[in-house]
Structure 1
Amino acid sequence: MATLQGQPVLILKEGTQRTVGRDAQRMNILAARVIAEAVRSTLGPKGMDKMLVDSLGDVVITNDGVTILKEIDVEHPAAKMVVEIAKTQENEVGDGTTTAVVIAGELLKRAEELLDNEIHPTVIANGYRLAAEKAMEILREIAIDVSKEDEETLKKIASTAMTGKGAEVAIDKLSEIVVKAVKAVAEESNGKIEVDTDNIKIEKRTGASVEETELIEGIVLDKEVVHPGMPKKVKNAKILVFNGALEVKETETDAKINITDPEMLQKFIEQEEKMIKDMVDKIAEAGANVVFCQKGIDDLAQYYLAKAGILAVRRVKKSDIEKIAKACGAKILTDLRDISSEDLGEAELVEEKKIGDEKMVFVTGCKNPKAVTILVRGGTEHIVDEIARGIEDALKVVAVALEDGKVVAGAGAPEIELSLRLKEWAPSLGGREQLAAEAFAAALEIIPKTLAENAGLDPIDVLVDLKAEHEKGNKYAGVDVETGKVVDMKEAGVLEPLRIKTQAIESATEVAVMLLRIDDVIAAKELSKGKEDEGDEGGDMGGMGGMGF
C-alpha cells in the first residue's frame, strides 16, 4: 500500500505477502539449503537411506536423490527450483542428482557470506558464471577416454553408479548385465554412438534372489496367451506385430441395418464370422505363428487363431509393441490387407512362463536385437524397486559414457582438483568477482567432505590429505570410504561419465545465480477452496505461485 497526500492507494490484493531485498534472498537461500541438507546424507557408497511414506501409506525406501525429491511434497518456490535441478540431472545423465543439489546448496551458502560482506548479487552471479566456465575447461582437460570395446572400464562405470544402492549385493553380475544391455541397443551413425535406453525394458518380479536377475536378449511381456487352446511355446517364431484390433471394424459413419427376417440375421452373423476368419487366414498364409496385438482380439478370432496353432497376445502397450518390432525385426502393421512374409519378425522361441505368481510371455533368441529386457528379481517389492532404480541409473551413465567417450575419476577427485585449480585461477579475474570465484572453488569441497562424513570419517583430515595428493600432481586421488585413505581412483576403478560432473556444475550454478538475482517475492493470498475468486483476474494462483497485482 502506498499513500498519496494522505490517501491510501491499494496496489496489491489484500492478503498478498511481499518480501523485499535481503529478506527475500535469505528466505530463498534458506529454502534451497534445506532441500540440499535433506538429501546430503544419502551421498556416496556409505550414504543412508530415506523412508518416504505418502498420504496413502505407500512406502518407498531409497537413497536416490531424485526419487526422494519427487516423492516429498515441496511447497516453497525456491525449493521447487532446486528439485528441478535433480529432475534435469536425471533426464540428462541419470545419476549425480544428489551431487547437483548438494553443490547448489553450498554455492548459495557461500554466496550468503559474500552478501553479508556487502558484495552485490550481480557481482557474485558473474563470478560464479566465470568460475563454472573455467571448471568445464578443467574437467575436459582431466577427462579419460573410453571406447565401446573397453568392457572392463564400462563395467566399472556401471558399478560406481550402483554402489551404495540396493543393487550392491550382486554388483558384478548386474554391472555385466547393464553393459551387455547398453551395447546391444547402441547404434553407430556418422562415427558417433547413440544409445536410446528406452529400448531397454525393465521388468520387476518379486521372489528369487537378486542374483537371479537376468538379461533377456529379446522382450518380456507382463501378459499371458489369450486362449487356453493356443500353444504355450513356439520355436522358430514368425512374429506379426499389429497395432490394430482383430475384430470386426465399427463403421466410421452412423449406419442402420434393418433386418426383417431371421435368415437375414443369420447371413449378417455369417458375414461377420467370415470377415474374422479371412483376417486369421491372411495371418496364417503369411506364415505367422505368433501375433502381438495392440488392441483387442475378438473371441471368434481367438478360436480361429488357436485352431491354426497361432500363439496370440492382446492389449500389448504401444511402447512394448515398438520394442518387440525392434527386437525381432518386424514391421508394425496397421492393416492386414497387404500382409506378407517380409513384414514378420523372427525369434528362436516365444513362450509363456510362470514367474512368481504371474504368467509372462518371453520373446527370446532374436538375431541382433535392438531392444532387450532386464528381468529384475528380489525378495520383496521394496528391494526389487530399489534395485531397478540402481540399474536404471547404471544404464543411463554407461550410455552417456559411450556417447561422449569421456569419463572422470569419482570419490571427490574431480571436485578437489577443480577447487585447487580454480583457487589458483581466481586472482586473474581481479575485482570482487575474484571473491565469488574463490567461494565457488571452496563450495566444490562439499562433495569429498560429505562423502567422508557419511562414511564416519573425519572430513577435515580427509580434505587435508586429498589436497596434499592433488598438489603433488595426482589428479585422480579420491577418498576410499572403506579405509579412509586417499587412493588413485583411476586405478581403483571408481569412474563416472564426464557429463555427470559438467551437468551437475552447470545446473547448480544456474539455479544459484537465478535465486541470487531475486530481490522481491510477491506471493498471492491463498485462495479458498470455494469458487469465490473465480472471476478475479489472477485465477487460482494459490500459495507462493501467484503475483496478484
Structure 2
Amino acid sequence: MLSMIKQQGAAADSRRGQALLLNISAGKGLQNVLKTNLGPRGTLKMLVGGGGDIKLTKDGKVLLHEMQIQHPTAALIARTATAQDDITGDGTTTNVITIGELLKQSERYLQENIHPRIIAEGFELAKDRCLAFLEEFKQSSHDTLDRELLISIAKTSLRTKLPAELADQLTEQVVDALLLIHKPEQPLDLFMVEIMTMQHRTDGHSSLIKGLVLDHGTRHPDMPKKLTNCFILTCNVSLEYEKTEVNANFLYKDHETRSRMIDGEHKLVAAKCRQIIELKNHVCDTPDKNFVVINQKGIDPICLDMLAKAGIMGLRRAKRRNMERLTLACGGTAMNSLEDLSPDCLGHADLVYEQTLGEEKYTFVEGVKNPFSCTVLIKGPTKHQIEQIKDALRDGLRAVKNTIEDKCVVPGGGAFQIAAYADLMKFKETITGRTKLGIQAFADALLVVPKTLAQNSGFDPMDTIIKLQEEYAKGHIVGLDIESGEPMDPVSEGIFDQYSVLKQVYRSSPIIASQLLLIDEIIKAGKGMRGSSVPEGQE
C-alpha cells in the first residue's frame, strides 16, 4: 500500500515537473525567435501569409501579432508583450527576452530542487528594488521640449527599426510633428499626426507636411486642381439625395407626382449648394482669393457641377478623423448645418492642390498658420519598405510622446541593466535565506539585454559584459558601443531609453515569469471557458 502511495506521489511530481519544463521551454523558444531582432544591429524576419503575402519586419509587436503561436504559454507571453506595446508603444522584444531569461535562470535552481515559490518571492523583492533603483537612475529634464533631447530619443527608437541613414532623416520629421501638435498643459493626441503612404520614388523622399494630405481628389473634371490663398469650409452636410433613415416607402399616383417629389429633393439640395456659393462670393471679393469645400458626406453630380461653375474645389466623403485634423490645421469650425454659415466658420490655407499618382489621387492642403495637426508623407518604391517605415514611425512618435509626458530619460545602450545588476548584487547581501537565489536569478536575467546587443553586433557577450561591469565599477554610467564593442557614455552619445517603457518591462515581466513558475499542471478546459468566470447559476 505504501509503495502505491509513493508511486502516485512520484507521478504527481513528474506531472508538475513536466508542466514547469513545458512553460520554461516555451519562454526560451519565444526568446530565441525574437532576441536576434533586438537593437540597431538586429536581424529582420520574413512573415509569409497564407495567400503568399510577404512582410519584412524586426518590430516585436508586428511579429507577435502576425505569427501563428500554438503553444498556450508562448501565446500568454506574446499577449503580455503586445499589451506592453499598447501601453507604452515600445519594449515588446525586451519584454519577451526578459521573461524568457527569467525562466531560463530559474531552471538552474529548479534542477537543484529549489521550490518555485521561493524563486517567485525573490523575483518580487528584486522587482521592487529594481523599480526603486530606476527612480534614482533616471535623469529628470526640466525642459522635455528640448529639441536636441527629443531628436536623440527619436533617433534611438528609429535606428532599432530602420537603417541608420533613413532613421536619421526621419528623426527630425518625427520630432517636428510632435512639437507642432503639442499644446501646453494638454495631453498629446498622436491621431493628429496623419501618416500617409505613397508608393512613389524612394524612401529618402519622405517628408513632413505642415498641413494635411487627403487620399482622394475632386470628382468633377472642370473643378480647379490647384488653388492659392484658399478659404476652407469643412462640413458634415448631405449634398445629395438621401434615403430615409427607416425603410419607408413613398406612394404616388402617377409619373408626374413622382417627378415633382424628385424635383423637390433636388431643389432642396441645390438650395444648400447655393448657400455655399453665396458665402464664397461674399468672402472671395478679389480674384486672388479662392474657396474649397471638404465634406464628410456625399455631393451629388448636380451640386458638383454648380460648385465647378463657381470655381470652387469640392471634396466629398472625407474621413471623420480628417475633418478634426482639418479644423486643427487650418482653423475654422466643422459645420453640421448650413443654416448658420458665416466667414467665422472658415479655415485658411495658402495652397491646395491635387496630385495624381497612377490611378490614385491625393489632395494637399499646405501653408497653414499655427497648425495643430500635420501629415508625415511616407514614400517608397515597394509596399514592404513603406510598411516597415510606417511601423517604425509609429514607434518613434510614441517614444517622443513618452519622453514629453515622463519629463525624464534613462541612459540607453544597456546602461540601466548594468547599473541595476550591480545594485541588486549589493541588495542580495542584505537578504538572508534561499530567497536571495531568486534575486540572483533576476539580476542575471537583467544582463540579457546588453548580452543580446553585443551578440547581435558580432561581439562576444561575456567579454563585453565584463568590460562594461569593470567600467561601471569605476563610477561611470556606461553603455555598449555597438560599433566597437567597447564601453561608452550613453549620455554624451545621445543614446536614451524611455523611462515608462523600462518601468513597464520590469514591472510586468517578473509577474508573468512568477505565475508561469507556479503552474504545476496544464489542464484542457471546456468550451464554456470563453464566457463568464463565475460558475453557472451563481451570477
CA–CA distance in structure 2, aligned partners of residues 167 and 349 of structure 1: 34
SS in 2 for 1:102: helix
Amino acid at match of 2:70: E
Query: 1:247-277: per-residue Cα shift (whole Å, max 9, x none)?
Result: 2343345555444455444433332221111
Match of 1:335 in 2: 337
Distance 1:441 1:358, change over 3 A: same
Amino acid at match of 1:251: T
Match of 1:98 in 2: 93
Match of 1:87 in 2: 82
- Aligned positions, number: 512
Match of 1:160 in 2: 156
**1:131 paired residue among 121, 126, 130:** 126
Query: 1:30-66: per-residue Cα shift (whole Å, max 9, x none)?
Result: 1122111101011111111111101111111111111
Match of 1:432 in 2: 434
Matched, 1:325 2:327: yes
Alpha-carbon contact 2:237-2:338 (below 8 Å) kept: no
Alpha-carbon contact 1:323-1:371 (below 8 Å) kept: yes
Deviation at 1:219, TM superposition (A): 1.2
Match of 2:302 in 1: 300
CA–CA distance in structure 1, aligned partners of residues 394 and 119 of structure 2: 37
Match of 1:4 in 2: none
Alpha-carbon contact 1:226-1:313 (below 8 Å) kept: yes
CA–CA distance in structure 2, aligned partners of residues 405 and 498 of structure 1: 9
Deviation at 1:330, TM superposition (A): 3.3
Alignment of 1:382-397 (within 5 A): 382-397=384-399
Match of 2:293 in 1: 291
Deviation at 1:345, TM superposition (A): 2.2
CA–CA distance in structure 2, aligned partners of residues 416 and 257 of structure 1: 77
Match of 1:220 in 2: 213
Matched, 1:231 2:224: yes
**1:113 paired residue among 108, 111, 130:** 108
Alpha-carbon contact 2:144-2:403 (below 8 Å) kept: no
Alignment of 1:180-259 (within 5 A): 180-189=176-185, 194-252=187-245, 255-259=248-252
Distance 1:255 1:486, change over 3 A: closer
Deviation at 1:98, TM superposition (A): 0.9
Alpha-carbon contact 2:229-2:351 (below 8 Å) kept: yes
Structure 1 stretch displaced more, 333-342 or 357-366: 333-342
Alignment of 1:329-478 (within 5 A): 329-355=331-357, 358-475=360-477, 477-478=478-479
Match of 2:288 in 1: none
Unaligned runs of 5+ in 2: 1-13, 284-290
Alpha-carbon contact 1:276-1:300 (below 8 Å) kept: no
Alpha-carbon contact 2:145-2:179 (below 8 Å) kept: no
Alpha-carbon contact 1:216-1:372 (below 8 Å) kept: yes
Match of 2:33 in 1: 38
Query: 1:363-418: per-residue Cα shift (whole Å, max 9, x none)?
Result: 11222222111001122221121122222111110110111111111111111111
Alpha-carbon contact 1:143-1:498 (below 8 Å) kept: yes
Deviation at 1:94, TM superposition (A): 1.9
Distance 1:431 1:331, change over 3 A: farther
Deviation at 1:303, TM superposition (A): 1.5
Amino acid at match of 1:381: K
* Greater share of helix: 2
Alpha-carbon contact 2:144-2:408 (below 8 Å) kept: no
Alpha-carbon contact 1:326-1:371 (below 8 Å) kept: yes
CA–CA distance in structure 1, aligned partners of residues 47 and 251 of structure 2: 61
CA–CA distance in structure 2, aligned partners of residues 493 and 469 of structure 1: 19
Match of 2:169 in 1: 173
Deviation at 1:332, TM superposition (A): 2.7
Residue identity (%): 36
CA–CA distance in structure 1, aligned partners of residues 197 and 65 of structure 2: 21
SS in 2 for 1:428: coil
Distance 1:540 1:149, change over 3 A: closer
Match of 2:524 in 1: 523
Match of 2:315 in 1: 313
Match of 1:497 in 2: 498
**2:527 paired residue among 538, 541, 546:** 538
Query: 1:121-159: per-residue Cα shift (whole Å, max 9, x none)?
Result: 222222212211211111121112332442111111111
CA–CA distance in structure 1, aligned partners of residues 163 and 299 of structure 2: 40
Give the TM-score normalised by the residue count of structure 1. 0.88
Deviation at 1:198, TM superposition (A): 1.7
Alpha-carbon contact 1:167-1:390 (below 8 Å) kept: no
Structure 1 stretch displaced more, 381-390 or 331-340: 331-340
CA–CA distance in structure 2, aligned partners of residues 510 and 420 of structure 1: 22
Deviation at 1:167, TM superposition (A): 4.7
Alpha-carbon contact 2:177-2:193 (below 8 Å) kept: yes
Deviation at 1:452, TM superposition (A): 0.7
CA–CA distance in structure 2, aligned partners of residues 510 and 257 of structure 1: 64
CA–CA distance in structure 1, aligned partners of residues 174 and 352 of structure 2: 23
CA–CA distance in structure 2, aligned partners of residues 486 and 355 of structure 1: 49
Deviation at 1:357, TM superposition (A): 5.7
SS in 2 for 1:387: helix
Match of 1:26 in 2: 21
**2:266 paired residue among 250, 263, 273:** 273
Distance 1:262 1:522, change over 3 A: closer
Alpha-carbon contact 1:167-1:391 (below 8 Å) kept: no
Query: 1:318-374: per-residue Cα shift (whole Å, max 9, x none)?
Result: 222222222222323333333333222222222111346632011112222221110
Distance 1:227 1:153, change over 3 A: same
Distance 1:125 1:339, change over 3 A: farther
Alignment of 1:40-59 (within 5 A): 40-59=35-54
Structure 1 stretch displaced more, 478-487 or 256-265: 256-265
Deviation at 1:106, TM superposition (A): 0.3
Alpha-carbon contact 1:169-1:210 (below 8 Å) kept: no
Distance 1:67 1:74, change over 3 A: same
Amino acid at match of 2:176: K
CA–CA distance in structure 1, aligned partners of residues 432 and 274 of structure 2: 81
Alpha-carbon contact 1:106-1:443 (below 8 Å) kept: yes
